[in-house]
Structure 1
Amino acid sequence: MSLKPAVSKTDHIQGKKDSDIVIVEYGDYQCPYCGAAYPVLKEMMKKYGSKIQFVFRNFPLSEMHQYARPAAIAAEAAALQGKFWEMHDAIYENQEYLSEAFLLELAEKLELDPHQFNTDIKKLEVATKIDSDFESGIMSGVNGTPSLFVNGRKFNGSPEDLLQLMSEIAK
């Protein structure tokens, strides 16, 4: 399966701009497998972030994970204050504490403007971004999380396999 649509400026991107290697993760903030993948992907970025581009797209499995969508909303609201990756990391690093109240605590810890954050979490554009990420996942053949794509093609291995692959190709 291939990635649809291609990575664009609406995506959350870290690492090297215009890299030859682009990795996209479809993730759910409450998914235990995404939680387990997080430190592996973080290590990959630490080692190869100067050579690769990493993109995160929301794929909240709301039927199974009641806080997946609220967490995605919190991350997108943080993005409006320029702190998407900080919120993304904070959520994964504290996954076992996820709740609506805890997400507000994280916003406070990250020194987000509380009034703006509370306004932004209700914004249609925030919900729309999550929905469009989710739809792009469906179109790209995502059927679970985390789903990883390397240069637009679905990667069928584990995050550890991806880290191994990067050690071979991102030299």
Structure 2
Amino acid sequence: MNDDRSHSSLLVPPSTQDWMQGVLSAKVVLVMYGDYQDSKSADVYKLIKAIKRELSAFFGEDYLCFIFRHFPQAQTHPHAQRAAQAAQAAAAQGQFWLMHDTLFAHQQKLENGYLVEYANDLGLDIPQFLKELAKQVHFDRINEYIEGGIQSGVTTAPALFINGNWYVGHWNMTELMAAIIAASY
């Protein structure tokens, strides 16, 4: 829960520029601002994956669109920004979601050597991956996500918006699923 927000709605609307699972025309669009080094972000992402599976089985694949936006908190998580850059570099090679899942699964090991190991395991072009990390090619894009989150009142990760409205309930299956279903009516 996060009640220190100055806004209750998402000011940067979902678009095809976002990392999404599902379609923007879904009944419910769930936007998560997350940090790969933050354990609560990882827990919420696991929860969302489970909810998405259940809702897809019950209501169909186009019921829920999940969008992930980077919100690394460099002041408390020194490897989060680099991990976000690694996800973006993997995305440039068509592997965003696989790297995304890998980073959350191994969030205690996000130093540069591990990032290269994960990229190698995903079959990425390592020289290209390293070049993009070294030149911080994706730094501005990540900062756009952060700035968009801040504009919407996000101060810490994770933060969720359901159909554009800030989710302030508890981070559990029952409440989050109920909020998602309620948003579809």
Q: Give the TM-score, by structure 1 length.
A: 0.92
Match of 1:91 in 2: 103
CA RMSD of aligned residues (A): 1.8
The structure with more radius of gyration: 2
Contact in 2 for aligned 1:52/1:170 (Cα 8 Å)? no
Identity %: 36
Contact in 2 for aligned 1:40/1:163 (Cα 8 Å)? no
Q: Which residue identity lines up with residue 157 of structure 2 in the other structure?
A: T
Contact in 1 for aligned 2:36/2:42 (Cα 8 Å)? yes
Secondary structure in 1 matching 2:32: strand
Contact in 2 for aligned 1:48/1:166 (Cα 8 Å)? no
Runs (4+) of structure 1 exceeding 6 A deviation are: none
Q: Give the TM-score, by structure 2 length.
A: 0.85
Match of 1:69 in 2: 81
Residue 112 in structure 1 maps to residue 119 in structure 2: no
Contact in 2 for aligned 1:14/1:55 (Cα 8 Å)? yes
Match of 2:66 in 1: 54
Match of 1:82 in 2: 94
Match runs of 1:106-145 below 5 Å:
106-123=118-135, 125-145=137-157
Unaligned runs of 5+ in 2: 1-7
In structure 1, which of residues 153, 156, 159 is the aligned counterpart of residue 171 of structure 2?
Answer: 159
Match of 2:160 in 1: 148
Q: Which residue identity lines up with residue 137 of structure 1 in the other structure?
A: G
Match of 1:6 in 2: 13
Q: Which residue identity lines up with residue 38 of structure 1 in the other structure?
A: Y
Q: Which residue identity lines up with residue 176 of structure 2 in the other structure?
A: L
CA distance in 2, matches of 1:78, 1:18: 26
CA distance in 2, matches of 1:81, 1:66: 25
- Stretch deviating more after TM superposition (93-102 or 75-84): 93-102
CA distance in 2, matches of 1:102, 1:163: 34
Contact in 2 for aligned 1:24/1:148 (Cα 8 Å)? yes
Secondary structure in 2 matching 1:22: strand
1:158 deviates by: 3.1
1:124 deviates by: 5.2
